[in-house]
Amino acid sequence: MTDPIKVFGNVGSPYTQKMLSLLRYRNIPYSVSWGDVVQNLSFLNIEPPKPVLLPTMVFKDDEGSDFCRTDTTPIIRYLEELYKEKSVIPSSPILCFLNYLLEDFADEWTTKYMFHYRWYFNEDADNAKKMLVLQNKIDIDDESLSQFGDIIADRQINRLWVVGSNDDTAKLIDESYKRYLSLMEKHLTLLPFMFGQRPSSSDFGLYGQLTQLVGFDPTPRNIANKQSPRTVSWVTIMSDLSGLHDSGGIGEFFGVKNEEANNKNKLNYFKDPNYGWIDTDNIPHSLIEIFNEVGKVYIPCLIANANAYKSGDEVWETSIDGEIWKQKTFPYQAKCLNWIKDEFNKLSADDKKTTLNLISGSGCEKILD
């Protein structure tokens, strides 16, 4: 493929930011159009997908015709088929599965942090209703800015209960976010990315949500600055990894002699799919602790949602970390659970056993029986 991939998204969309960062890292040519996806597609006579999601990405088929794809997780796997260098899928089957599970946690649970903080607190909602409009039309007049901002805020605040955000769950969400930041801080003292010296798709999933949590919304940004400066810095670094290589660090710019840099003959840009990943026999405890958080808060959500979907219940309730959690049933998250199981079932018997041993006691194993 030689033509740039067309990306239609929104600045305030964590999933758009996830994909743009990934495209930059993989040096895949793209163009991005901000604003109303349907309108932007109509200008190009491209039929919008159903449903329209952020981002919507337009590819060319073998005959040169445009077609749309949505949903970042399968898009990333599709890009792996098209572009071979700088893969974001670990070459180890075990790490590949763990990466898939962590990416799903990023997309489906950490987004609850984002949505909760953005619309639960007045300061954050007042910020969001202005910024989200301005990011679509910077030169909008003040009266229209206020009008459209109020419409957006009313709609989103009324949807808080849908994702489980309310007065009863606010404490749980806040505590989970703070634990997550502490776990990220600890892990980033050991490794620059989740699974080694190179970013995986789960890194980009986590990054996407964090662009909003530490870069857009006041309350979670203030929490992150105090609790995890490494995470805040990591988000900045993740925004553009197009020239990432296997060397670097503090050097002569800071007045420090870097002998390693002087002795380096050739930089490695992670084009080899096997280079830069952690060994499955040496997974750091900091990563296991992140999966403990996945098992503590997200797995109960997945199980309860799947049971409710199977029973035809529109709303479900369960206990998460000792607190009652209630929200709308999402058919998509029932699919997420099935897809996780599908990924696990791709493993060999030995790799399944190793994986279960790694996450034993985390709670994640409950969906893999």
- The CATH number of the domain holding residue 28 is 3.40.30.10
Within-domain flag for 149:
no
Domain co-membership, 16 together with 54 = yes
Task: Evaluate whether residue 206 is within a structural domain.
Answer: yes
Asked if the structure places residue 339 within a domain, the reply is yes
**CB contact at 8 A, 333 and 300:** no
**Same domain as 66, residue 197:** no
Cis amide prior to 49 (ω within 30 degrees): no
> Which residue in this structure is represented by tokens 């805020």?
153
Q: Please state the rounded mean pLDDT for residues 132-144.
A: 96
pLDDT tens digits for range 291-318: 999 999 999 999 999 999 999 999 999 9
Residues 34 and 169 in one domain: no
pLDDT beyond 90 at 264: no
Looking at the predicted structure, is the pLDDT value of residue 3 above 90?
no
Mean pLDDT, rounded, for 207-222: 98
- Same domain, yes or no, for 235 and 291? yes
Residue with tokens 């409950």: 366
Does residue 105 belong to any structural domain of this protein?
A: yes
309 found inside a domain = yes
Q: Do 176 and 41 share a domain, yes or no?
A: no
Maximum CA extent, the chain? 65
Q: Residue 54: helix, strand or coil by DSSP? A: coil
Counting the structural domains of the chain, the total is: 2
Same domain flag for 180 and 229: yes
User: How far is the C-alpha of 201 from the C-alpha of 299, rounded, in Å?
Assistant: 20
Beta-carbon contacts of residue 17 (< 8 Å; ≥ 6 apart): 11, 207, 208, 211, 212
Residues 50 and 100 grouped into a single domain: no
Give pLDDT, residue 260.
61
pLDDT digits (tens, 9 = 90+) for 274-286: 999 999 999 999 9
Last residue of a domain, one of 82, 106, 130: 82
Non-local (6+) Cβ contacts of 345 within 8 A are none
Domain holding 307, by residue range, is 93-116+165-240+283-367
pLDDT at 263 over 60: no
Query: Can you tell me the distance from the alpha carbon of 233 to that of 236, in angstroms, rounded to the nearest whole number?
Result: 5
Q: Are 302 and 356 found together in one domain?
A: yes
> Would you say residue 125 lies in a domain?
no
Task: Tell me whether strands 315-320 and 5-9 are parallel, antiparallel or unpaired.
Answer: unpaired
Residues 293 and 347 in one domain: yes
Banded model confidence at residue 247, pLDDT cuts 50, 70, 90:
confident
Q: Which residues contact 187 (CB under 8 A, 6 or more apart)?
A: 194, 284, 286, 287, 289, 290
72 contacts 16 by C-beta, under 8 angstroms = no
In a domain, 221, yes or no: yes
- What is the structure's pLDDT at 369? 74
Q: Same domain for 295 and 206?
A: yes
- Kindly give, in sequence order, each residue whose CB lies less than 8 Å from that of residue 279, ignoring residues fewer than 6 positions away: none
- Look at residue 2 and tell me whether its pLDDT is greater than 80: no
pLDDT given at position 267: 86
The answer to whether 34 and 54 are in contact (CB under 8 A) is no
Answer whether 314's CB lies under 8 Å from 328's CB.
Answer: yes
Q: For 9-39, what is each residue's pLDDT tens digit? A: 999 999 999 999 999 999 999 999 999 999 9
Which pair of tokens denotes residue 120? 């639960």
The answer on 52 and 104 residing in a single domain is no
Instruction: State phi, psi for 335 to the nearest 5 degrees.
Output: -65, -40
* % of the chain at pLDDT higher than 90: 92
Contacts of 14 (CB under 8 A, 6+ apart): 111, 114, 208, 209, 210, 211, 212
Residues 14 and 65 in one domain: yes
Q: Does 148 reside within a domain?
A: no
